[in-house]
Amino acid sequence: MNKKSKIELKKVTKLDLKLLIEWRNSKDIFPYNTQYFLLNSKIQIDWFNKMQNDNSKKMFMILYGKIKIGICGLIDVDKKNKNAKIAIIIGKKALHGKGIGTIVISHILKYGFNKLKLHSINSEVIEYNKNSIHLFEKSQFKLDATYRDAIWRNNRWWNIKSMSIFKKDFNEFE
Amino acid sequence: MFEGKLVILRALEKEDLGILKEWRNSSHVRKSTREYKLLNMINQKNWFESIHQSNPPKEIMFGILNKRKKLIGVTGLTYIDWKNRNSEISIYFSTKNWQTKPEAKEVINLIVEYGFEELNLHRLYVEIFSLMKENIKLFSQIKFIKEGELREKVWRQNKWWNTIIFSKLASEYKK
């Protein structure tokens, strides 16, 4: 079986929350998110409950060969201006840099452009997250803006890169 | 109250909401703001309540008075992020073509001064629709730095428009 066919996106359930806390608080993920406090079960359950009636958030568990390896989706979905922000976490570090992210992004773009009929999808990445910047570039995202000194992390200021892709520039991954 | 040579900034009051509604619904303000609905008093009251909810506040709004104490516009800091010390600047006046008036520059200077000197913010930014040439000119003139353009970010007047991000850092601020 090739990588592409081993990857599936499934609905997030309450049973996944423990895994999400583990990933998002881990030293491989935490420094790359804008979130600056550690998550506990209350925060995660509130997040899950709120999401049930929130059309601006569409999140999915990422399965690789039936095993849950991460979470991804679209946030800040703006129906009026037809745009959204992409979110992706591959929880298992051992699976980073193996082309899985590219396939997952392709799934999300397909969902956003074809199902939600979006016009553009945006990604915001802290500048030191070189792997993610590279990943989005590979997926044909183009740099729109560099927010200067937009985040304080690790005792200094960092820029945030804002990138986007249009429906017309998206070639479905075959 | 913060006093300049031409204008005074004061706190907004509930009694201001009626006139603010008229201004927000006028075509020259609607053109430049993210709001796409027409606002009614329920929207206005909810907004007023919401900006007083959090402590420290996420929004700090002011009424702009002229020297005859007449309310002529609204300004403020919105989306205040106390962790990363940044905020967006919001400004509009009751009349058209305010961007070329000296009052506009003074209001922005007062709000920038407040953001950096009092709130100890690090970065103040604005997001301007590319159709608002006057605003782009204004913020360029007062030496905000262009950070980039978010391509086709908003749908207005039957087409897509970029939005342009300008910012000023505390290190670039001189009184």
What's the ipTM? 0.92
Kindly report, residue by residue over B83-120, the tens digit of the pLDDT.
999 999 999 999 999 999 999 999 999 999 999 999 99
A94 Cα distance to chain centroid:
18
Chain centroid, CA B79 distance in Å? 11
Q: Which of A142, A147, A158 to mutate to test the interface with B (most CBs of B within 10 A)?
A: A147
B165, B149, B154: which is closest to A148 by C-alpha?
B165
pLDDT at A5: 85
- B173 chain-A contacts, CB cut-off 8 A: none
Rounded Cα gap, residues A119 and A174, in angstroms: 21
Containing H/E element for A133?
helix A130-138
The 3-state DSSP class for residue B150 equals strand
pLDDT for the residue B121: 98
With an 8 Å Cβ cutoff, is A148 touching chain B? Answer: yes
Which DSSP helix (H) or strand (E) runs through B133?
helix B133-141
Inter-CA distances, B158 with A81, A88, B24, B143, Å: 11, 33, 21, 32
Residue in the structure block whose two tokens are 């066919």? A5
CA dist., res. A2 & res. B101, Å (int)? 64
Q: For all residues of chain A together, what is the average pLDDT?
A: 94
**Where does the pLDDT of residue B1 fall: very low under 50, low under 70, confident under 90, or very high at 90 and above?**
confident
In angstroms, the CA A42 to CA A18 distance is: 11
CB contact under 8 A, B151 and A82: no
Please judge whether A80 and B36 are an interchain contact, meaning their C-beta atoms are less than 8 angstroms apart: yes
Which letter does DSSP use for residue B116 in this model? Answer: I
Beta strands, E only, A109-169: 120-126, 142-153, 156-166
Which positions ≥6 away from B2 have C-beta within 8 Å?
Answer: B8, B9, B62, B110, B114
Position A6 scores a pLDDT of 92
Q: How confident is the model at residue B62 (pLDDT cuts 50, 70, 90)?
A: very high
Calculate what percentage of chain B has a pLDDT beyond 90: 96
How would DSSP label each residue in B54-91? SSS-S-EEEEEEETT--EEEEEEEEEEETTTTEEEEEE
DSSP state of B34: S
Q: Report the pLDDT averaged over residues A83-110.
A: 94
Determine whether domain B2-174 maps to CATH 3.50.50.60.
no
Position A174 scores a pLDDT of 46
A21-60 pLDDT, tens digit per residue, is: 999 999 999 999 999 999 999 999 999 999 999 999 999 9
Q: What pLDDT does A173 receive?
A: 56
The candidate with the shortest Cα–Cα distance to B147, out of B133, B165, B130, B122, is: B165
Share of chain B above pLDDT 70, in %: 99
What are the pLDDT digits (tens) for A157-172? 999 999 999 999 997 6
Residues of chain B found within 8 Å of residue A82, distances taken between Cβ atoms: 155
Tell me the C-alpha distance between A158 and A33, whole Å. 13
* CA proximity to A71, closest of A48, A43, A94, A90: A90
Report the pLDDT value the prediction gives residue A172, as an integer from 0 to 100.
Answer: 67
Residue A64, pLDDT above cutoff 80: yes
Reported confidence tier of residue A1, pLDDT bands at 50, 70, 90: low
Give bridge partners of residue B78 from the DSSP assignment: B88
**What pairing do the DSSP bridges indicate for beta strands B86-93 and B123-129?**
parallel
Residue A21 has phi, psi (to 5 degrees) of -60, -45
Contact criterion met (CB < 8 Å) for A80 and B155: yes
pLDDT, one tens digit per residue, over B120-152 is 999 999 999 999 999 999 999 999 999 999 999
- What pLDDT, on the 0 to 100 scale, is given for residue A114? 96
In this structure, the dihedral spanned by the alpha carbons of residues A60, A64, A69 and A71, taken in order and rounded to 10 degrees, is: -20
Taking an 8 Å cut-off on Cβ atoms, the answer to whether A152 and B83 are in contact is: yes
Chain A residues closer than 8 Å to B149 by CB: 144-145
pLDDT digits (tens, 9 = 90+) for B10-21: 999 999 999 999
Question: What does residue B89 show for φ and ψ, rounded to 5 degrees?
Answer: -95, 135
pLDDT digits (tens, 9 = 90+) for B23-33: 999 999 999 99
Contact (CB, 8 A) for B103 and B5: no
* pLDDT band (50, 70, 90) for residue A93: confident
Report yes or no: B78 and B41 within 8 Å, Cβ to Cβ. Answer: no
Q: Where are the domains of chain B?
A: 2-174
Structure tokens at A90: 């591959």
- Asked if the peptide bond before residue A31 counts as cis, ω within 30 degrees of 0, the response is no
Q: Three-state SS for B50? A: helix
Q: Is the pLDDT of residue A65 over 80?
A: yes
Mean pLDDT, residues A126-138 taken together: 96
- Provide mean pLDDT across the span A140-151: 98
